Amino acid sequence: MTGAPDMLAGRERALAEVDLDAIRHNVRRLSRDLPPGAAHCAVVKANGYGHGAVPVARAALEAGSTWLGVATATEAEELRDAGLKGRIIIFGPLTGAELQRSVHAGADVVVWSELFARVAVRLGARCHVKFDSGMGRLGVSEDEVRRLMRLVASGPSPLVGLMSHFATADEADTAFFEYQLGRFTALAHELKTAYPSLLCHTANSAATIRSLPSHFDMVRTGIALYGLAPSNEDPFKDDLRPAMRLSSYVAGVREVRPGESVGYGRRFVAEAPARVAIVPIGYADGISRALTNRGDVLVAGRRCRIAGTISMDQLTVLLPDDHGRPGDDVVFFGESGGARILCEEVARVLGTINYEIVCDVSPRVVRSHRGAGPAA
């Protein structure tokens, strides 16, 4: 655009900045209380919870992680294609074709039924048997675990691990968490006798932080790896550093007279003269439409309220009389000018969890990774 201000030159419409040094810090923090010899698995499924699977995985391995966790064969292949050498475990169910691709990628798989176990053994997959200690999804009973262990151990496939997953580790009431942990502990101790090299693992982020007895031979951390609180509260109290900052900018400012509206559906009507910033980001970028008229952003470090309906590619923000001009930074979560909005705050406004906030940042938002090592 002719005459465009220099302040907009080279600016990204929507930018997710990811601090890889924060990822490294979080790996070291989550590993500091592990028993000697225990491993850290960095969970990088769902494109690293929206942060970028490959750069996050690389940073995690540099900081001491030795395993990477994903949900699909395609995710495992992406890591291998990027040249990453860490051990990979695929948590999700797989078809026969996906299982073959997983074996080719050198990834371990999770065994949760006899049929799947037989196919995995036939293909030579490295197997972790999943015990359903109370999650109620994938997994088998104690008796079935013993049977699947024997099936895998009798074939050419390596029997690598015993695993489970907690349903309530992030909740204040620990009764069910303790019940699950007790069941897993008893079974793990029994099977370690029969299979001394068995890798036992069940701790997610919340359990890793709150329960040393849950660590066993490996912990698998997802949400805390990204500096987000498993409790959906304050990550800083657990010495976690949020890694992502999502921002856009003020594309223009307009004056609105009393009675005039802004946006679809006239959901914001000015009661007095007002100044409104137009920001080129919307629900197609991951800014939930449910934040209409109730979400806050930071405009040049100052809190301002979203005003009017969030549309696919744009939204509008109500500005104070003396603040806000074209080119100003607009931050949806992260820090600006000494002020901060946490993903956890946004999640509470929406009645959801911080996982969804970062995972919803869409692929069309540019990712910028700072703190990358020489191999990045």
> Are the CB atoms for 273 and 255 separated by under 8 Å?
yes
The answer to whether position 356 is within a domain reads: no
The answer to whether position 365 is within a domain reads: no
- pLDDT at residue 304 above 60? yes
How many domains, in total, are found in the chain? Answer: 2
Q: Of 133, 136, 200, 129, which Cα lies nearest the Cα of 158?
A: 129
For the domain that residue 298 is a member of, what is the CATH number? 2.40.37.10
Residues 162-207 pLDDT 10s: 999 999 999 999 999 999 999 999 999 999 999 999 999 999 999 9
Residue 39 is part of which domain span?
20-225
Collect all residues with Cβ–Cβ distance below 8 Å to 314 and sequence separation of at least 6: 278, 279, 280, 281, 282
Average of per-residue pLDDT across 118-147? 96
DSSP SS3 for 123: helix
CA pair distance 136, 214, nearest whole angstrom: 19
CA pair distance 51, 324, nearest whole angstrom: 29
For this structure, is 264 an active site residue? yes
CA pair distance 75, 70, nearest whole angstrom: 6
Q: Do residues 203 and 285 share a domain?
A: no
Q: The pTM is what?
A: 0.94
The answer to whether position 2 is within a domain reads: no
What burial class does residue 28 get, using C-beta atoms within 10 Å of its C-beta: 0-12 exposed, 13-18 middle, 19+ buried? middle
- pLDDT at residue 10 above 80? no
The answer to whether position 326 is within a domain reads: yes
For this structure, is 45 an active site residue? yes
- pLDDT at residue 374 above 80? no
Residues 66-118 pLDDT 10s: 999 999 999 999 999 999 999 999 999 999 999 999 999 999 999 999 999 99
The answer to whether position 347 is within a domain reads: no
pLDDT at 9: 62
> Are the CB atoms for 318 and 273 separated by under 8 Å?
no
- pLDDT at residue 254 above 50? yes
Catalytic residue of the set 45, 49, 130, 226: 45
Domain stop point among 156, 191, 225: 225
The answer to whether position 212 is within a domain reads: yes
* Amino acid code (one letter) for 373: G
The answer to whether position 306 is within a domain reads: yes
CA pair distance 375, 96, nearest whole angstrom: 34
- Listed in sequence order, the DSSP H helices in 12-85 are 20-31, 45-49, 53-62, 73-81
Report the Cα 287 to chain-centroid distance in Å: 17
Catalytic residue of the set 237, 264, 283, 355: 264
> Are the CB atoms for 122 and 132 separated by under 8 Å?
no
Q: Do residues 67 and 216 share a domain?
A: yes
